[in-house]
Amino acid sequence: MAANAARRAHAIDPVVAEAALSGLLAARKTLPPKLFYDDEGCRLFREITRLPEYYPTRTELALLRTVAAEALPDLPPGSALVEYGGSDETKALYVLDAIPQLQTYVPVDVAAGALVQVASRLHRSRPGLAVYPVVADFLEPFALPRSVRTRPLVGFFPGSTIGNLDPAHATQFLSTARWSLSDGPFLIGVDLPKDAAILLPAYDDAQGTTAAFNRNLLHRLNREAGADFDPEGFTHRAVWNARQSRIEMHLVSQEPQVVHVAGHRISFAAGETIHTENSYKYGVAEFAALAASCGWASARVWTDAEQLFSMHLLSARGS
Ligand code: AVJ
């Protein structure tokens, strides 16, 4: 039994190892942000959303009250809400509770454990709601359950998660989503560019929760990818890259060190970084132009009074 337990503790998840290695073996080291969201990462992210410095979640929630009441008055009954990255139903409930034509909810996420919890919570709190969780990387094309495919669909992508994609991949995502949603309307939350004095603390909070969230990547690779990182040998760094209108997160190696990941030897110079996340910020006109290049019209846009965050209602052009 002890031997089994030991073997389990060192088991390598090939999907995680492969996702990590493709970035760590490159000349400029990166890790994909989707690796943030294991159980501990999801917990730390929820903690981030409650930080005083992290304005996006609370601003978007306030915005959603208005958006949900105004956005989709003519939606046909029997429509389904498809949420990209639906590992937490809080935001979707604003929409579902305000729009009675939506009796079906399809959260799509890679975090299978979180989806199980979403489904069981909703089963208790909204017994009339049909929930069809889909475990998938929503950046790739995925199949919707048969019983959902025939319904009118509404897309929902809150949180400015689209900011994780560089503009080329965002374009690809928006084009694919138009097809997955069969040209149904798409509500999407987009963080706005703003003063670095607001942006930087949001990604480098006083409590160190964002630093812990960033470092959890290394703990996760130790747990799941046969790695031997010393997570304390790396520090969290957030940078506002104004030219590319994005926040970057990095893990900075504090000294020269050698790390092993799934049998590969990876060496770090002192000060060398692993680039772990981009969070692109788009102005209203800028995002409307990006959407337009993918066949979407920004039919309506809501922003808060301080111009911190935006929500676009996209509708397929020519439909
Ligand atoms: C979930 C991608 C929208 O970019 O603000 C929060 C993730 N990273 N703090 C963001 C995140 C650091 C978040 N998104």
Single pTM value for the model: 0.93
> Which is more confidently placed, 137 or 45?
45
- What's the one-letter identity of residue 267? S
C-alpha 87 to ligand 1 mean position (Å):
14
Evaluate: CB of 157 within 6 angstroms of ligand 1. Answer: no
Evaluate: CB of 189 within 6 angstroms of ligand 1. Answer: no
Confidence band of 80 (pLDDT split at 50, 70, 90):
very high
Evaluate: CB of 56 within 6 angstroms of ligand 1. Answer: yes
pLDDT at 138: 84
Evaluate: CB of 298 within 6 angstroms of ligand 1. Answer: no
What does the mean pLDDT of the chain come to? 94
pLDDT at 152: 96
C-alpha 164 to ligand 1 mean position (Å):
8
For residue 123, give the 3-state DSSP assignment: helix
Question: Which among 279, 280, 309, 310 is the best mutation to test ligand 1's pocket, defined by most ligand atoms within 8 Å of the CB?
Answer: 279
Give the dihedral sign, CA 115/16/140/173: positive
d(CA 189, CA 182): 20
C-alpha 187 to ligand 1 mean position (Å):
18
Segment 189-212 shows an average pLDDT of 98
Segment 201-230 shows an average pLDDT of 98
pLDDT at 9: 56
- What's the one-letter identity of residue 104? T
Segment 59-73 shows an average pLDDT of 96
pLDDT at 52: 98
Confidence band of 205 (pLDDT split at 50, 70, 90):
very high
- Specify the residue with its C-alpha closest to ligand 1, atom 10: 279
Q: Is 70 exceeded by the pLDDT of residue 4? A: no
Question: Which among 37, 50, 59, 161 is the best mutation to test ligand 1's pocket, defined by most ligand atoms within 8 Å of the CB?
Answer: 161
pLDDT at 114: 87
C-alpha 111 to ligand 1 mean position (Å):
16
d(CA 219, CA 99): 41
Segment 87-108 shows an average pLDDT of 95
Q: Is 60 exceeded by the pLDDT of residue 111? A: yes
β-bridge pairing 153-157 and 134-135: unpaired
d(CA 46, CA 211): 14
Q: Is 80 exceeded by the pLDDT of residue 319? A: no
Give the dihedral sign, CA 52/57/63/68: negative
Evaluate: CB of 16 within 6 angstroms of ligand 1. Answer: no
C-alpha 206 to ligand 1 mean position (Å):
16
Q: Is 60 exceeded by the pLDDT of residue 5? A: no
Query: How far apart, in Å, are the Cα atoms of 88 and each of 170, 206, 262?
Result: 22, 25, 31
- Specify the residue with its C-alpha closest to ligand 1, atom 2: 161
Whats the size of the chain, residue-wise?
319
H helices then E strands: how many in the chain?
11, 13
293-314 pLDDT tens trace:
999 999 999 999 999 999 999 9
6-62 pLDDT tens trace:
444 568 999 999 999 999 999 999 999 989 988 899 899 999 999 999 999 999 999
Confidence band of 1 (pLDDT split at 50, 70, 90):
very low
Closest by alpha carbon to 278, among 249, 304, 244? 249
- What's the one-letter identity of residue 71? A
Q: Where are the beta strands (DSSP E) in the chain?
A: 79-84, 102-109, 130-131, 134-135, 153-157, 186-191, 234-241, 246-253, 257-261, 264-268, 273-280, 296-303, 309-316
Give the dihedral sign, CA 238/239/245/246: negative
- Specify the residue with its C-alpha closest to ligand 1, atom 1: 161
Confidence band of 3 (pLDDT split at 50, 70, 90):
very low
Question: For residue 155, which phi and psi values (nearest 5 degrees)?
Answer: -90, 145
